[in-house]
Amino acid sequence: MATEIERKFLVRDERWREQAQPGVQLMQGYLAATPAVTVRARLKGEQAMLTIKGATRGIRRSEYEYPIPVADAKAMLSELAETGIIEKTRYRVQCGAHTWELDLFAGDNAGLVLAELELSAEDEAFERPSWLGDEVSDDPRYYNANLARHPFKDW
């Protein structure tokens, strides 16, 4: 079984931009989103993925991801997404032994910037960059499926 162990943080300031790789545009929508499972279609540049994730247990959950044709992802987003579409630009920043993914949200979630870190174990140590803010891993408002339903602009 594939497992995702991810921690999520707010971003304090823009110092991360000095070390960031060029960003990639992402569009994603949720075909199903329940407490037990989410099914997402995502466009990432010229690639597309279908992702199925299980219930979040702490910072761990099952995750299965498969490449799909771009045309299929576009059709799923326009015809099957049951909530709003998430738009964001993802940047990657190396810090110590880890690579952070920073998401700058657009559209109805404009103004929100989140940093995510995937780990191989829940207790894995990592370097905290100076631009890192409060941890929000346990706050469901920051789950992308919830941001599609209840965007940041409405908070």
Query: What residues are labeled active site?
Result: 30
Q: Catalogue the long-range contacts made by 98-101 (C-beta closer than 8 Å, 24 or more residues apart).
A: 98/126, 98/127, 100/16, 100/129
Q: Which residues contact 18 (CB under 8 A, 6 or more apart)?
A: none
Q: Are the C-beta atoms of residues 74 and 43 closer than 8 Å to each other? A: yes
Of 144, 137, 139, the C-alpha closest to 8 is 137
Q: Name the one residue in this structure whose structure tokens are 């810090």.
A: 95
What's the CA gap between 46 and 54, in Å, rounded?
Answer: 26
**Dihedral pair phi/psi, residue 98, rounded to 5°:** -120, 155
